[in-house]
Amino acid sequence: MKFDPILPPERRAAMRAEGFWPDRLITDYLDDAAEQRPDHVAVSDA
């Protein structure tokens, strides 16, 4: 079975317009959290 994971531009635009695809990386959210709570400890298990 062939599966093409790339969404058509129209679908991406619709998802962005509806707020389902904010064009942010997970690290953007991490940066926000670090800025909002600079005195908290961050734990990472890589």
Contact by Cβ (8 Å): 12, 21: yes
Question: Mind listing the pLDDT tens digit of every residue in the chain (46 residues)?
Answer: 887 778 888 998 999 999 998 889 999 999 999 999 999 998 888 7
Structure tokens at 20: 């389902």
The ranges assigned to domains in the chain are: 8-38
DSSP 25: -
What pLDDT is stored for residue 44 in this prediction?
Answer: 81
What pLDDT is stored for residue 12 in this prediction?
Answer: 87
Does the global pTM surpass 0.75?
Answer: no
